[in-house]
Amino acid sequence: MTVVAPQMAVARHKRRRGFGREMSAGWFAFFMNVPTLLFLVLVLAWPVIYAGYLSVHRVGLAQLRRGEFPFTGWENYGRVLEDPLFWTALQNTVIFTAVTVSTEVVLAVMIALLINQTGVWTSRLTRLLILLPYAIPPIANGLIWAFMYSFQFGFLNRILFTLGLTQDPVNWAGNPETALFAVTVPYIWRTLPFAIILVHAALQGIPRELYEQAAVDGARAWRRFWHVTLPLLRPVIAVILILRTAFAFAVFEEILAITQGGPGDATWVAAWYSYKITFSPPNNFGMGSASAFILALMIGVMALVYLRAVYRRVTL
């Protein structure tokens, strides 16, 4: 008995020391992540919370000078929803999103299939050319295409002149009928590589045995794509739809660099509306914050719709 008791005491002591070391490691990991958490709170959470505060207060230049922000409740949200210009911007945003996202998904699948079939992805030059647009900053991309669209000096009009397709220069970004679609092209050009990479990675994960078995059963290329490739690409297509819809719905840089909302209100989108309401006289920060929150709510609702309508079918 005198021998067993000290052994049990030593075992308990070792367990306590081991437990203490485990807790120390956990606390150490927590403290190591504290700077990152504080950074995220300051950079992401705090601006969102403060914007929510501004959205329910009257905040303009006069209130900023006095330092007093009267509480207005839902007044700013009501003023946004009653503004015809907001609904025009929302309509343009829906058209822009529908055109860019659908075109991007179709082109991404086509290009990824071409790369996967020909093996051209192994070329470093090809990878560089495909990824180059995605590496260009959005505002720089917009400025490049603004120069290409130039009414007098643009490369696009020069190409049309050289080919004999037109005798008069086309005002691509200055015509209300073509301005919105002119902005979609630079956006698609910049964001398409992201979708190509995702689709190509998904294609690499499809077992070759499935195609061989389909070929043995007599399925031609189109049927193999429709019954083998496309069903297995649905998860990644769902991801592309969710991400690209969210980003397209909040497009801003290309609008700023190419058209600045013009001509007239032809290229006013939701994010541009929030920007102009906030930073143009009379600088209604409360109304601008409310419009930004409405935009965020719409993006969240669309993401949920995609998850239920698209990704749910994938998992069944």
| pLDDT score, position 176 | 92
Distance of CA 147 to the CA centre of its chain: 25
- Of the two residues 5 and 158, the one the predictor is more confident about is 158
Mean pLDDT of 24-38: 81
Cβ proximity of 145 and 258 under 8 Å: yes
Helix, strand, coil fractions of the chain, as percent rounded to 5: 80, 0, 20
Given a cut of 90, is residue 208 above it in pLDDT? no
- 135 is written with which tokens? 């590496």
Mean pLDDT of 246-272: 93
β-bridge mates for residue 57, sequence order = 71
Cβ proximity of 268 and 261 under 8 Å: yes
Q: Where are the beta strands (DSSP E) in the chain?
A: none
Mean pLDDT of 190-205: 92
The 8-class DSSP code of residue 167 comes to: S
Distance of CA 238 to the CA centre of its chain: 13
- The three-point CA angle 207-212-217 to 5° equals 130
- Tokens 């790369």 label which residue? 115
| pLDDT score, position 53 | 93
Given a cut of 90, is residue 90 above it in pLDDT? yes
Mean pLDDT of 134-150: 92
**For 41-137, where are the alpha helices, taking DSSP H only?**
46-55, 61-66, 75-82, 84-118, 124-135
Domain covering 75-315, topology: MetI-like fold (1.10.3720)
In this structure, the number of other CB atoms found within 10 A of the CB of residue 75 comes to 17
| pLDDT score, position 314 | 52
Cβ proximity of 179 and 262 under 8 Å: yes
Mean pLDDT of 294-305: 88
The closest alpha carbon to 93, from 237, 274, 278, belongs to: 274
Given a cut of 60, is residue 5 above it in pLDDT? no
| pLDDT score, position 312 | 57
Predicted structure pTM score:
0.84
Element (H, E) at 286: helix 285-306
